[in-house]
Structure 1
Amino acid sequence: MTGYLDTISHPWNRKQIMAAMMQKFMEVQPSIDRTPGGKIWNDLKGLDDTVWIFYTSISELIDEICIFGERSKDPEFWFKSNEKTAKQYAREVKRKLYYCTSSLMSLVDIARNFDKRHKLDGPGEKRAEIFTTPGLHDFLQDLRNFNTHWRIAEANWEIKFEMENHTRTAHFQIKKEDLLDWSRWTTNAKKYIQALDGSVDLYEILTTYKKQAQTYYAWHKGAVIDQNSQALQQYFEYTQIHEGLRQYQKWNMILSHVKDGTNPYQYLAKFLSPTQIETVLSYPKYSEMQVDALIREVDTYQICDKKLKNKLMKVFSVSAE
């Protein structure tokens, strides 16, 4: 589907965007989103969402392990009447581990497709620089297939006491032998498993991988923005113009329908934060200075012209003179 703006060569100006809004309002933003910068930015937002889901899945799994470690310190936790407690925690960790590995595969696929659509300089070299734990990435990717096609990884609690430091830590581990029962590990993932002392510590490997991923995707987003700055600048310029025009229409309609005698102060909380309200109220009541302060706080798109200001002055019972 093409809109009015799609038939006009770039760059678009305010007059052209306004004409497009008058012709068919709902087509304007989709046309802006179809610009090169719009495609990059919206794809980047989709990648950001996937990264967030992955990080959140890891955080929830780590939280579950930490909660078990803390609650299991209570002797009553291990009473016969609470025998299902530890098993329930184990189930929760297995469930959240499944989410972690599934969201990682989604992230890998979406990031790969993003890089195909928007060519970026150096992602392969940067990954090799940041993901420095040999085989860890391959292992986590394959663990998703292990969970999906073989069985949910059977992991168990292990509580360690450090007598010298008087510390107690809870670990959730998958045995090396259980993993190697599956025959479809890739070469690097299998090497990673075989190099383990005896089991995989989920807290340790996921904390390590999350730090590496955070470093990589922070670099990746910065590189995308830097490399596509011109296209993004044009996209955001169009977006700002469009949103400014939308805001002008909204405020013009609101102020045109305010009834005489309405107390404007009762609506401040609807449009302003507490700090902004305090700023506006620091000026004399019903004064032009107060109206100007209100405009400064609200008019982020700088759309308030003399006509709109006069309507606002009337609402606040200030003389237009």
Structure 2
Amino acid sequence: MTGYLDTVAHPWTRQHIQTAIMYDFRTVQRSIDQTEGGQLWRGIKELEDAVWVFSKSTAELLDEISIFGERSKDIDFWSRTNEKNAEEYVREVKRKLYYCTSSLMTVVDIARAFNKKWPLDDFIEQRDKSFSTPGLHDFLQKLRNFSSHWRMAQANWIIKSDSKNGIRIASFVISKDELLEWRDWGSKARKFIEEAEDNIDIRDIFTHYKKQLQQYYSWHKGALLDKYSSILRPFFEYSKIHKGLQQMMMWNMILSSFKSEMNPYQYLARYLSSNQIELILSYEHRSQQQVDALIRMLDMEDFCGAQLRAKAMHVFGVKTITD
């Protein structure tokens, strides 16, 4: 469905957006989202979501390893009646390891398509700088397929105790021999394995890689916002105008239907945080300063005309010169 804004040349003014709302309010946000800046912003958010899923999956994997280390302190954990304990934790690690590697592949796929459409001049240099451990990225990409065919065992758990400092650390490791039994690593991942020590610690490599990935995508987003600011600015301007006009119409309806016997302070918590309410109450009771502060907090300064402001003053019982 073509919206009114789709028939209007850029830049769109406040009057254009207001007319579009009156023409068919359902198409306005869609038209704004379809601008070049809207498409870029949606791509940035999709990439952010993918990075978040990987980071969250990694945190859950590391937590699972830590939980095992804590619960395995109990001597009953190792009793024959609880012999399935370690097996269940192994399964949980394998499940969450699969989530981590799968979500990493999602980040890679989304980033590859995104970079083709919205390239950055020095992204390869920055990528190599952030992902500075040779072969680690390739190893984690292949680890998903490896873990699908790999039978984990209780032997993969290593628990180290430091009696002097009272520290007990559980690690989940895979030996080089286990890894190299699989033939489909590829040259970079295989070299990473061969150059590692006897065991590869899952906690260590995911902790390290998570930091690298977050560092890179923090730079990546900042670089995008800088390079494509001229594309993003109209999108955010249109979105702000659209939201402001919607708010203006909503508040006009609310204030117009407000009854004289109603207490406006009763409804502040619906729209303001506790800190904002405290700030409102720091001004003189039922004063113009309170109303002005409320308009600022609702981000309505550019959309609260004389008529709407007068309605707000009336609702709060502010005495004016004419009263």
Counterpart position of 2:111: 111
User: Structure 2 counterpart of 1:191, which letter?
Assistant: K
User: Structure 2 counterpart of 1:252, which letter?
Assistant: N
Could you tell me how far 1:54 is from its partner in structure 2?
A: 0.4
Q: Deviations over 1:80-107 (max 9, x none)?
A: 3322222221111111100000000000
Which secondary structure does the structure 1 equivalent of 2:53 belong to? helix
State the aligned residue count: 320
User: Structure 1 counterpart of 2:108, which letter?
Assistant: V
Q: Deviations over 1:292-320 (max 9, x none)?
A: 23222223553111111111122122345
C-alpha separation in 2, matches of 1:301 and 1:26: 25
Counterpart position of 1:207: 207
C-alpha separation in 1, matches of 2:50 and 2:300: 30
User: Structure 2 counterpart of 1:256, which letter?
Assistant: S
Q: Is the 8 A contact 1:65 1:172 kept in 2?
A: yes
Counterpart position of 2:59: 59
Distance 1:264 1:90, change over 3 A: same
Counterpart position of 1:254: 254
Distance 1:169 1:216, change over 3 A: same
Percentage of pairs with the same residue: 54
User: Structure 2 counterpart of 1:30, which letter?
Assistant: R
* Structure 2: runs of 5+ lacking an equivalent: none
Could you tell me how far 1:18 is from its partner in structure 2?
A: 0.7
Distance 1:299 1:182, change over 3 A: same
C-alpha separation in 1, matches of 2:299 and 2:262: 22
Which secondary structure does the structure 2 equivalent of 1:280 belong to? helix
* Structure 1: runs of 5+ lacking an equivalent: none
Counterpart position of 1:8: 8
Query: Which shifted more, 186-195 or 97-106?
Result: 186-195
Residues 1:303 and 2:303 aligned together: yes
Aligned pairs for 1:235-246 (under 5 A) are: 235-246=235-246
Could you tell me how far 1:164 is from its partner in structure 2?
A: 6.4
C-alpha separation in 2, matches of 1:191 and 1:253: 67
Q: TM-score, normalised by structure 1?
A: 0.94
Could you tell me how far 1:122 is from its partner in structure 2?
A: 1.6
Counterpart position of 1:87: 87
RMSD: 1.8
Q: Is the 8 A contact 2:260 2:315 kept in 1?
A: yes
User: Structure 2 counterpart of 1:292, which letter?
Assistant: D
Q: TM-score, normalised by structure 2?
A: 0.93
Which secondary structure does the structure 2 equivalent of 1:12 belong to? coil
